[in-house]
A and B are shown apart, each in its own frame.
Chain A
C-alpha cells in the first residue's frame, strides 16, 4: 500500500487544478443531454412523428452513424436513447481522454510528477491512482446529474431503471476508455503520442461497431463502444454491458499499474530507438514541421481513408427504399426508383461531407495550434532567433494545416466514392463528391482562420475554436431534430452547405465565409508579428 501513499492529497490537487475544466465539460454534456430529453416529447410525442423519425433512424445510414434502434413499437424515450447513447458515449470519451492525458503524462512532462515523487513522501503509483479516481469522480458526477435530470424530463416510454441505466452506461464507457488511455500513457512518454493512440483506439472501436451494426449486429459485442447499444435502454434495460465496462476499466487500470511499475519516469515502456546523427532534410520551419507531423499526418490520412471507405461500403444498404410494394414500384418505374435511391445516397453524402469536414478541421486546427504549443514549450525561442520572419513561420503552419484539412476531406470523400461504387449497381458520379468537397472548403477555412486570428491576437482564448466547432456540429446535428429557431442554425457554417450535393452550391454565403476567413487570417498575421513571444 506504501506505493499509493498520499493518493488523496494528489487527488485533491488534481481536482483543484481541473475543477473548471470538469465543470464546463459536465455543464455542456449534462446540460445538452437533459435539455434534449426535456424537449423531446414536444418533437417526437405523437405516434405520427415517432413513425416518421423511426424509419429515418432505422435506415442503414443512421444506424451506421449512431447505432441500432430496437425492433417493434417505438416510444419517445426509445428514440431518445437510440439517438443519444453512442453519440454521447463519444463525447464523454473525448472528455475522459482529455482528463486522463493531462493527469498522467501531461503532468509528467511538466516535471510535476518528478518533483512530487522524488522530493516528497508520495507513493510511486499514487499519481496513477489519483488520475483513475479523478476520472471516477467526474464520470460519477455525470451519471448522477444526468440521471436526475433525465428523471425530471420524464419522457413518455421512459422508466426509472432505463433512465439510470443510460446515465450510468454512458459514464461507464467514458471511464473505461479513460482507463485504457492510462495504459497508453505508460507505453509512450509524450502526451502527443498518447492522444494519437487513444483516438486510434476510439476510431477502431467506432468502425467495428459501425460495420457490425449495419451487417451483423452480433459482432457489435467486439467493440466496447458497441456495448453501449447492447444495454438496450428502455427496451430490455440490460445492465450486463455496464458491468463489463466497469470490469474492462478495472482490468485496464491494473494493466496500467503493472506497466507503470516496469518503467522509468519520463520514459515509455516502448523504447525510443536511437536515430540518425545527421540531417540534410531539416532546413527550416517548413521541413521541421513536416518532419514533426509526418506520423500524425499519415495516421490521419489512413484513418480518414478507412472511415470514408467504411461509410462507402454501406451505400447499397442506404440506397434501398423501404416501401417496395409492387404498386409503388409500378408507379415510380425503374428510373423513378433509381432516382429516389440516388437521392437517399446523395443526402447521406452531404451528411458525410459535414462529418468529414469536422474531422478535417480538427486535424488542420491541431497543426496550427502546434505553433502555440511549441511557443509555450520553449521550442520557438531557437527558431525565432534565426533569420526567419514570424509571418513566414505562421504562414508555414497555416498552409500545412489548410492543405492537410483539404486533403483529408478529399481522401475521405474519394474513399467513400470508391467503396460505394463497388457495392452499388448504379455508381454515383464523381461530380457529386467534388461538389461536396468544394462546398465544405469555406467552412474549413473559416474555422482555421478563427484559430489563426486568436493565435495572433489572444492565444489564451483559442479554446473558442473548439467550442464554436462543437456548437456548429451540435446545431447541425440537432437543429432539425430539436426545431431550433432558424437564426441559430445559421450560426453554423455547415448550415449553408448541408443541402449539397442534392442542391447546387449557393455561392453567396460561401464567398462571405471566405471573406471573413481572409480578414481573420490577416488579423492573425498582423497580431502575430507584433506580439511578444510567450515563455
Chain B
C-alpha cells in the first residue's frame, strides 16, 4: 500500500512543431507522498502537468496515472483527481460561489461543511462576479474547490503565485492535512521555500529534462553549508583546506570569516578550525535556493558533484 505508484512518467517527450518542450521527463509519485516539481519559468513544468492531465498528448515516452494512460483514459483518471492551474481563468459572469459549486458538481462532489470552512479560512467573498476578482482571488476559488474535493491525487501548478503569505500558510497547512490523510500531491513551483517545507521528494526540471530526483536530504550532500565563524587565533590554512569555497576574511587578523563548505568535507574543516579556538560559530544548512542556483548557474549538461 505504502509503495503504490500513483503517478508514473517515463521518458516523456513533447514537441510543439519544431520546438522540443520536453525531452526527457521522469517522475514517480507514490501514495501519501508530496512531490515537489521545481524549475525555472519555461523549463516545462506546466507542459508536463498538462500531459499528465490529458490536455495535450505526449510525443514520446509515457504518462500513467493510477496505472491508466493519461491521454486515453483521462475521463476515468479525472474522477479521482483535483487540479489547480497556475493561472486560473474563470467564466466572467459566474460568481465565485457558483463557480465553486459547479466545479464540485462536475467532479461528482457536493458543497459540504468543509467547503464553507475553506471559504471562511481563505476569506473569500463568494458573492462577487468572477470578472471582478483579482488573480489571487481566482486562485483561491480553484483552491477551495480542489481542497473540498475528496480524491486521491491533487495536482497544483504554481498554486500560490498570487496569494499573500497568510493564504500561502493556509495552503501549506491544507497540503499537510492531505498528506496526513494518505493523499498524494504533485506540487510544481518556483517558490523554493514552499517546496522545501512541504515536499518529501523533489524533482528538478531544466530545459525539458528532469535532472535530479530525490529527497531534500539526499540532495544536500551535493551542496554547501554557509559558515560564519569567529576564532581566538588566526585561521591558518583555511584557504587551502579541501571543500572550502568563497572564503572571505572580515578582518586583517583572519579571526572572523565567512565561507561555504561542501557538506561532505564539513567534519575535516571543523577539525582544522578547532585548532584556532572557536569563539562563535553559525552554520546555515543549504536551502533549496542554493541548490537551485547551483544547478541553473552551471553550464548545461554539467551536473553538480561532477
Judge if B55 is at the interface, Cβ distance under 8 Å.
Answer: yes
Do B90 and A389 touch (CB < 8 A)?
no
**Do A384 and B55 contact each other (CB < 8 Å), given the known contacts A272-B131, A274-B129, A378-B85?**
yes
Which residues in window 10-61 of A have CB below 8 A to B?
none
Do B107 and A386 touch (CB < 8 A)?
yes
Do A533 and B50 touch (CB < 8 A)?
yes
- Specify which of B96, B97, B102 lies most central, judged by the most chain A CB atoms within 10 Å of its CB: B102
Complex formed: what's the CA distance from A419 to B103 in Å?
A: 45
**Do A382 and B90 contact each other (CB < 8 Å), given the known contacts A282-B105, A532-B56?**
yes
Please name the residue on chain A nearest to B47 by beta carbon. Answer: A535
Which candidate, A156-164, A169-177, A201-209, A283-291, is the interface stretch facing chain B?
A: A283-291
Judge if A426 is at the interface, Cβ distance under 8 Å.
Answer: no
Q: Which residues of A contact B132 (CB under 8 A)?
A: 267, 272
Do B55 and A282 touch (CB < 8 A)?
no
**Do A387 and B98 contact each other (CB < 8 Å), given the known contacts A277-B126, A532-B55?**
no
Do A385 and B78 touch (CB < 8 A)?
yes
Do B55 and A378 touch (CB < 8 A)?
no
Do A274 and B128 touch (CB < 8 A)?
yes
- Specify which of A267, A272, A284, A385 lies most central, judged by the most chain B CB atoms within 10 Å of its CB: A385
Complex formed: what's the CA distance from A479 to B55 in Å?
A: 46
Please name the residue on chain A nearest to B55 by beta carbon. Answer: A533
Over the window 52-71 of chain B, the binary record of Cβ atoms lying under 8 Å from chain A Cβ atoms (1 yes, 0 no) is 01111100000000000000
Do A535 and B91 touch (CB < 8 A)?
no
Do B111 and A387 touch (CB < 8 A)?
no
Over the window 284-309 of chain A, the binary record of Cβ atoms lying under 8 Å from chain B Cβ atoms (1 yes, 0 no) is 11011001100000000000000000
Q: How far is the CB of A107 from chain B (nearest CB, A)?
A: 16
Do A276 and B92 touch (CB < 8 A)?
no
CB contact between A530 and one of B57, B83, B95 (< 8 Å): that residue? B57
Complex formed: what's the CA distance from A386 to B20 in Å?
A: 28
Q: Which residues of A contact B126 (CB under 8 A)?
A: 277
Which residues in window 94-117 of B have CB below 8 A to A?
94-98, 101-103, 105-108, 111
CB contact between B101 and one of A279, A379, A388 (< 8 Å): that residue? A279
Q: How far is the CB of B52 from chain A (nearest CB, A)?
A: 10
Count residues on chain B whose CB falls below 8 Å from chain A CBs.
43
Q: Which residues of A contact B50 (CB under 8 A)?
A: 533, 535
Judge if B75 is at the interface, Cβ distance under 8 Å.
Answer: yes
Do B85 and A381 touch (CB < 8 A)?
yes
Judge if A280 is at the interface, Cβ distance under 8 Å.
Answer: yes
CB contact between B129 and one of A275, A284, A288, A385 (< 8 Å): that residue? A275
Q: How far is the CB of B66 from chain A (nearest CB, A)?
A: 13
Do A275 and B95 touch (CB < 8 A)?
yes
Judge if B81 is at the interface, Cβ distance under 8 Å.
Answer: yes
Q: Which residues of A contact B111 (CB under 8 A)?
A: 278
Q: Which residues of B contact A189 (CB under 8 A)?
A: 131
Q: Which residues of B contact A274 (CB under 8 A)?
A: 95, 127-129
Judge if B142 is at the interface, Cβ distance under 8 Å.
Answer: yes
Judge if B79 is at the interface, Cβ distance under 8 Å.
Answer: yes
Judge if A244 is at the interface, Cβ distance under 8 Å.
Answer: no
Over the window 79-91 of chain B, the binary record of Cβ atoms lying under 8 Å from chain A Cβ atoms (1 yes, 0 no) is 1010101011111
Over the window 257-279 of chain A, the binary record of Cβ atoms lying under 8 Å from chain B Cβ atoms (1 yes, 0 no) is 00000000011000010111111
Do A276 and B127 touch (CB < 8 A)?
yes
Q: How far is the CB of B184 from chain A (nearest CB, A)?
A: 16
Please name the residue on chain A nearest to B87 by beta carbon. Answer: A378
Judge if A330 is at the interface, Cβ distance under 8 Å.
Answer: no
Q: How far is the CB of A293 from chain B (nearest CB, A)?
A: 10
Q: How far is the CB of A280 from chain B (nearest CB, A)?
A: 7
Judge if A190 is at the interface, Cβ distance under 8 Å.
Answer: yes
Please name the residue on chain A nearest to B16 by beta carbon. Answer: A532
Do A291 and B94 touch (CB < 8 A)?
yes
Do B85 and A388 touch (CB < 8 A)?
no
Q: Which residues of A contact B46 (CB under 8 A)?
A: 535
Complex formed: what's the CA distance from A287 to B99 in Å?
A: 12
Do B85 and A382 touch (CB < 8 A)?
yes
CB contact between A382 and one of B56, B79, B81, B142 (< 8 Å): that residue? B142
Do B106 and A275 touch (CB < 8 A)?
no
Over the window 377-420 of chain A, the binary record of Cβ atoms lying under 8 Å from chain B Cβ atoms (1 yes, 0 no) is 11101111111110000000000000000000000000000000
Complex formed: what's the CA distance from A282 to B101 in Å?
A: 7
Q: Which residues of B contact A267 (CB under 8 A)?
A: 132
- Specify which of A266, A277, A287, A533 lies most central, judged by the most chain B CB atoms within 10 Å of its CB: A277
Do A277 and B102 touch (CB < 8 A)?
no
CB contact between A387 and one of B78, B103, B127 (< 8 Å): that residue? B78
Judge if B93 is at the interface, Cβ distance under 8 Å.
Answer: yes
Judge if B174 is at the interface, Cβ distance under 8 Å.
Answer: no
CB contact between A379 and one of B74, B81, B89, B105 (< 8 Å): that residue? B89
Do A387 and B102 touch (CB < 8 A)?
no
Q: How far is the CB of B152 from chain A (nearest CB, A)?
A: 13
- Specify which of B95, B106, B142 lies most central, judged by the most chain A CB atoms within 10 Å of its CB: B106
Judge if B76 is at the interface, Cβ distance under 8 Å.
Answer: yes
Which residues in window 357-386 of A have CB below 8 A to B?
374, 377-379, 381-386
Q: Which residues of A contact B55 (CB under 8 A)?
A: 381, 384-385, 532-533, 535
Q: Which residues of B contact A382 (CB under 8 A)?
A: 83, 85, 88-90, 103, 142
Please name the residue on chain A nearest to B93 by beta carbon. Answer: A292
Q: How far is the CB of A371 from chain B (nearest CB, A)?
A: 13
Do B106 and A283 touch (CB < 8 A)?
yes
Q: Which residues of A contact B94 (CB under 8 A)?
A: 275, 279, 282, 291-292
Q: How far is the CB of A203 from chain B (nearest CB, A)?
A: 22
Complex formed: what's the CA distance from A385 to B157 in Å?
A: 13
**Do A385 and B83 contact each other (CB < 8 Å), given the known contacts A282-B94, A535-B50?**
yes
CB contact between B108 and one of A285, A292, A387 (< 8 Å): that residue? A387
Do B129 and A283 touch (CB < 8 A)?
no
Do A279 and B98 touch (CB < 8 A)?
yes
**Do A277 and B105 contact each other (CB < 8 Å), given the known contacts A382-B90, A533-B56?**
no
Please name the residue on chain A nearest to B106 by beta carbon. Answer: A386
Do B98 and A278 touch (CB < 8 A)?
yes
Q: Which residues of B contact A284 (CB under 8 A)?
A: 105-106
Do B56 and A283 touch (CB < 8 A)?
no
Given A384-B55, A387-B79, A532-B16, 15 other A-B residues pairs in contact with their CB atoms under 8 A: A277-B127, A279-B102, A280-B101, A282-B98, A283-B105, A382-B85, A382-B89, A382-B103, A383-B106, A385-B54, A385-B55, A386-B103, A386-B106, A387-B75, A387-B108
Binding site for B on A (CB under 8 A): 189-190, 266-267, 272, 274-280, 282-285, 287-288, 291-292, 374, 377-379, 381-389, 530-533, 535
**Pairs A-B, 3 closest by C-beta atoms:** A378-B89, A277-B97, A282-B102
Some 16 contacts from A to B, beta carbons below 8 A apart, are A266-B131, A274-B128, A275-B127, A279-B97, A279-B102, A283-B106, A292-B91, A382-B85, A382-B88, A383-B106, A384-B54, A387-B76, A530-B57, A532-B55, A533-B55, A535-B50
